[in-house]
Amino acid sequence: MYSEAGRSVGLIVDRIVDIVEEKLVVQKSPTQRRGVLGSSVIQKRVTDLLDVPSVVRCAIPNFADAPAQA
């Protein structure tokens, strides 16, 4: 679930591989990809980190501007 300006949107994933607690060191990519915040090594695997606000704004350009639905 992502919320901004009184509006919320849910995210659907194909599957959850694992849930872990780990301190992240985010590496910014020199070539920025839309929707990707950066990457980090999690359990010895390089993992891309999703930039949720960017993805939501790409899918719904006026998400934060539109009034919340009741």
pLDDT digits (tens, 9 = 90+) for 8-56: 999 899 999 889 998 888 888 777 788 898 999 999 989 999 999 999 9
> Is residue 37 a part of any domain in this protein?
yes
Whether residue 5 contacts residue 69, with contact meaning beta carbons closer than 8 Å, is answered with no
Higher pLDDT, 53 or 64: 53
Residues with Cβ within 8 Å of 66's Cβ and at least 6 positions away in sequence, in order, are: 7
> Is residue 18 a part of any domain in this protein?
no
**53 is written with which tokens?**
């606000």
> Is residue 44 a part of any domain in this protein?
yes
> Is residue 63 a part of any domain in this protein?
yes
**27: DSSP letter:** B
Residue span of the structural domain in which 66 resides: 1-12+24-70
pLDDT for 40: 92
Higher pLDDT, 30 or 6: 6
CA–CA distance, 53 with 55 (Å, rounded to integer): 6
pLDDT for 25: 87
Backbone torsion region of residue 54, taken as left when φ is above 0, otherwise alpha when ψ lies between -120 and 50, otherwise beta: alpha
